[in-house]
Structure 1
Amino acid sequence: MELSPTQDGFLGEIAKDFTFATVARLAGGVAARLAEEGLRRVVVAHDTRFLAKEMAEEAARVLAGAGLETHLLQGPAPFPLFAFALAEKEAAGFYLTASRKPAPYQGVKLRRGPGKPLSPKELSLPPSPPEGRGSFALLDLKKPYLERLAQSAGEMGEKGGVVYLDAMGGAGGGFLAGAFKRLGLGAELREIHPLPHPLFYGVDPNPVPENLNTLRVLLKALEPPGVGFALDGDADRLAVFLPGGEMLPSEGVLAHLREASAGREVQGDGEGGYLFPWHLPEKDAFLAALLLLKVLL
């Protein structure tokens, strides 16, 4: 196994480094670590990559076989939903995603709890896949997450105009539409590449201008009021485009978010990730998008 460690997990090439045996070993190592810390509950989730669902099911079976109360989020789950699930279940987390990396790659983000990364340095992986397998419970928290999202966004006012969203075939398709419905927004949401796609429609799921030709062409022809958004593969990062096709720099996005948050804390990582500690202990691109509508429309 030649996985590359990351700050909060591992990354490898699917079928070469990141295999079902690798996933089982990772899950076994995580289970042992959580047991050492007295943690007994874990949520597993996955993005839209090739075999992500099946690998997530394998991880869930191994974690359950180790005696953990294991929940698997249904369908491709964006990272903000995964973070919400950890908070709701007071659980550790095992999330299969390679985020912005090209389609041939898969990885895992590990959490010992909501907003608490589990470093690879803290894990000791078994030399072979564990033999035990157990049963897991399916978990559907999309509706309560959208309710939390709408609550955190607050009063939106009368907002018109056009909002484009390129989900890039990642895990974030359809979620902003659900928030629009709950908030009763009058703006027209036009989604691009909303359906899950393991090859991300032929580009890397990194929301930078060179990967967003369709969105940029549409924004060039868009008259104000309007805005364009793009998500990365696991929907924890947001790119923002103005009418005319210009991408708003991250420092400008952060300034607008602080204005829209009315004094509440907002943190940015300089790479399109925005954290609202009063909402969730992890980054949430959907809340960032909703708050930006308050000042950009």
Structure 2
Amino acid sequence: MNITFGTDGWRGLLDSEFNEQSVSLVAQAFSDYSTSVTAHPSIVIGYDGRRNSKLFAELFASVLEGNGITYFLSDRVIPTPIVSYYVNAKQLNFGVMITASHNPPEYNGIKFKASYGGPFFTEETHKVEALIGRTAVKKAINKLKTTDLSLIYKDHLETIVDFKKIAQSKLSVVVDSMSGAGGTMLQDLLSRYGININTIYGTPNDNFSGRLAEPIEKNLLPLRQELQRNKYSLGVATDGDADRLGVMLDNGNWLSSQETILLLADFLKNNKEIAGDIIKTSSVTNLLEVNFSSSECNVHDVQVGFKYICEKMIETNAAFGAEES
């Protein structure tokens, strides 16, 4: 069976490529890799709302348990950033997310997270890949235990975001979760502070309600229509596993990813005054360098792929990183 990992994990067509057999093989290879680099690994597992994502997450957990590995399996559909935060905050060794991100619904996949919360580096991915099929799959038959992974993440957001100030601004927001893993999470959080927020397509389903769950302008007609029908300050859309963002203005006009990156850079560097360099892929606007490069802030270009951004961020202790997609 040919299983090849890309820049952010492995994905394949459901049934023909991504199925119980192939996921079991990858889970066993990941178990072998984990126990080869640390004596007692601990791993968090999350999943999105695609077809059989929960089943595959449970299968992965059963293989980990069969190999004597401690795991924390999500009790619900969650965004990928929760897995990234949880593995780092709880000082675990690795994270696993069952998702094909923004790809069409006939796909599913797996993302691996390292102890720092970011994606595996290329050499580590190759090590897992090389172990596929080397040993027999071991599965536990015990009932799997689950954990609410979202609580610690929500608590963390409340320490870094001034929701009271947002409420004072009288900002009104509509969120298009694109029937993905973001669900009503933003609405649940912001509404606690009296912020006017509404969610469309907030229930995850396995075909994303007939759309591609990629938050780019051509896929966001429902969000544009909602903004034009009602008086919102802002529209925000998230992709299938809620780790990508798209933004529309109050009149339904699209805010490009390049413009969004510049706004975020301005906020983080000039408002929050976060020290450190900026990492970007080559496709991201050079205005980052024009506006923010200084003796205290270098702007670095890396090849496309978030794992390359992550690698450079760790190397330079950067303030933030950005890619166009």
Range of TM-score over shorter length: 0.7 to 0.9
Q: Spell out, residue by residue over 1:139-175, the C-alpha distance to the aligned partner (whole angstroms, 9 max, x if none).
A: 1132221111121113542121421100011111111
Asked if 2 retains the 8 angstrom alpha-carbon contact of 1:34 and 1:112, the reply is no
Spell out the pairing of 1:6-155 with structure 2 (5 A cutoff). 6-38=6-38, 40-91=41-92, 92-118=94-120, 119=122, 120-123=125-128, 124-126=131-133, 130-133=137-140, 135=142, 136-154=144-162
**Amino acid paired to 2:77:** P
Q: State the number of aligned residues.
A: 277
- Who is 1:196 aligned against? 204
Q: Spell out, residue by residue over 1:159-202, the C-alpha distance to the aligned partner (whole angstroms, 9 max, x if none).
A: 214211000111111111232144x143x111010001100000
What is the Cα deviation at residue 134 of structure 1? 5.7
| 3-state DSSP of counterpart to 1:56 | helix
Cα distance, 1:34–1:61 mapped onto 2, change above 3 Å:
same
What is the Cα deviation at residue 110 of structure 1? 0.8
Q: Spell out, residue by residue over 1:193-244, the C-alpha distance to the aligned partner (whole angstroms, 9 max, x if none).
A: 0001100000111011221111112223455x61000000010111000122
C-alpha distance in structure 2 between counterparts of 1:125 and 1:116, whole Å: 22
Cα distance, 1:218–1:170 mapped onto 2, change above 3 Å:
same
Q: TM-score normalised to the size of structure 2? A: 0.77
Q: Bigger shift: 106-115 or 253-262?
A: 253-262
Asked if 1 retains the 8 angstrom alpha-carbon contact of 2:28 and 2:135, the reply is no
Q: Which has the higher contact order (CA 8 A, sep 6+)?
A: 1
What is the Cα deviation at residue 69 of structure 1? 0.4
Q: Bigger shift: 112-121 or 35-44?
A: 112-121
1:240 aligns with 2:250: no
**Amino acid paired to 1:169:** S
**Amino acid paired to 1:23:** V
Cα distance, 1:77–1:283 mapped onto 2, change above 3 Å:
farther
Q: Bigger shift: 91-100 or 241-250?
A: 241-250
C-alpha distance in structure 1 between counterparts of 2:33 and 2:138, whole Å: 17
Q: Bigger shift: 226-235 or 138-147?
A: 138-147
Asked if 2 retains the 8 angstrom alpha-carbon contact of 1:227 and 1:243, the reply is yes
Spell out the pairing of 1:143-222 with structure 2 (5 A cutoff). 143-154=151-162, 156-157=164-165, 158-182=168-192, 184-186=193-195, 188-222=196-230
Asked if 1 retains the 8 angstrom alpha-carbon contact of 2:45 and 2:57, the reply is yes
Percent identity for Structure 1 against Structure 2:
25
What is the Cα deviation at residue 127 of structure 1? 5.6
5+ residue gaps, structure 2, are 285-303
What is the Cα deviation at residue 253 of structure 1? 1.4
Spell out the pairing of 1:274-289 with structure 2 (5 A cutoff). none
Cα distance, 1:236–1:258 mapped onto 2, change above 3 Å:
same
Q: Spell out, residue by residue over 1:59-96, the C-alpha distance to the aligned partner (whole angstroms, 9 max, x if none).
A: 00001111110110111110111112212332211110
Cα distance, 1:145–1:36 mapped onto 2, change above 3 Å:
same
Asked if 2 retains the 8 angstrom alpha-carbon contact of 1:46 and 1:95, the reply is yes
Could you say which structure has the larger radius of gyration?
Answer: 2
Cα distance, 1:51–1:78 mapped onto 2, change above 3 Å:
same
C-alpha distance in structure 2 between counterparts of 1:170 and 1:189, whole Å: 18
C-alpha distance in structure 2 between counterparts of 1:175 and 1:129, whole Å: 39
Moved over 6 A (4+): 273-277, 281-284
What is the Cα deviation at residue 254 of structure 1? 2.1
Q: TM-score normalised to the size of structure 1? A: 0.84
RMSD over equivalenced CA pairs, Å: 2.8
Asked if 2 retains the 8 angstrom alpha-carbon contact of 1:76 and 1:171, the reply is yes
Asked if 2 retains the 8 angstrom alpha-carbon contact of 1:21 and 1:129, the reply is no
C-alpha distance in structure 2 between counterparts of 1:27 and 1:73, whole Å: 16
**Amino acid paired to 1:102:** P
Asked if 1 retains the 8 angstrom alpha-carbon contact of 2:83 and 2:117, the reply is no
